[in-house]
């Protein structure tokens, strides 16, 4: 992205790819024979990554992510570990335990889910 925020794409269908190209305003990419099917995109992923990097460099991450989500294109900002751990959902997964020596240890729950009350 223009603001150097890394973005992860999980585009697996031809429709998602066409929507990605619309959001990026690149019909030439959508019509490029090297990228017509998912198999083509995988085979030519180095060229595709180069083209996408150029297109994404014209957009701020938050703006383009919003547009991608509206277009139903699976995408997310790649967060640094401190950003992940400061997220409210991650904080709910922190387990604290008081050790026999009085120190508090913290660890992340390996499985997290909430049981709805019946």
Exposed e or buried b per residue across 49-74, where buried means at least 16 C-beta atoms within 10 angstroms of its C-beta: eebbeebbeebebeebbebbeeeebe
Cβ neighbours for 114, distance < 8 A, ≥ 6 positions apart: none
Tell me how crowded residue 112 is: count the other CB atoms within 10 A of its CB. 10
Q: Please give the mean pLDDT across all residues of the chain.
A: 90
What is the per-residue pLDDT across 78-87, written as a single tens digit (0 to 9) for each?
988 888 888 8
Gap between the Cα atoms of 93 and 85, Å rounded? 9
pTM, full prediction: 0.73
Instruction: Record the tokens describing residue 14, joined without a space.
Output: 């031809």
* pLDDT over 80 (residue 27): yes
Task: Take residue 46 and report the two structure tokens written for it.
Answer: 């180095």
pLDDT exceeding 90 applies to what percent of the chain?
64
Backbone angles phi, psi at 80, to 5 degrees: -75, 160
pLDDT bin (cut points 50, 70, 90) of residue 45 is very high
Gap between the Cα atoms of 25 and 49, Å rounded: 16
């Amino acid at each position: 992205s223009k603001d150097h925020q890394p973005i992860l794409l999980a585009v697996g269908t031809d429709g998602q790819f066409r929507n990605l190209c619309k959001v990026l305003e690149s019909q030439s990419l959508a019509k490029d024979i090297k990228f017509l099917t998912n198999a083509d995109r995988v085979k030519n992923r180095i060229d595709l990554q180069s083209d996408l990097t150029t297109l994404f460099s014209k957009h701020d991450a938050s703006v383009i992510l919003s547009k991608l989500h509206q277009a139903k294109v699976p995408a997310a900002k790649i967060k640094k570990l401190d950003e992940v751990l400061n997220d409210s959902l991650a904080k709910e997964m922190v387990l604290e335990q008081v050790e026999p020596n009085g120190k508090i240890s913290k660890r992340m729950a390996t499985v997290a889910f909430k049981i709805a009350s019946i």
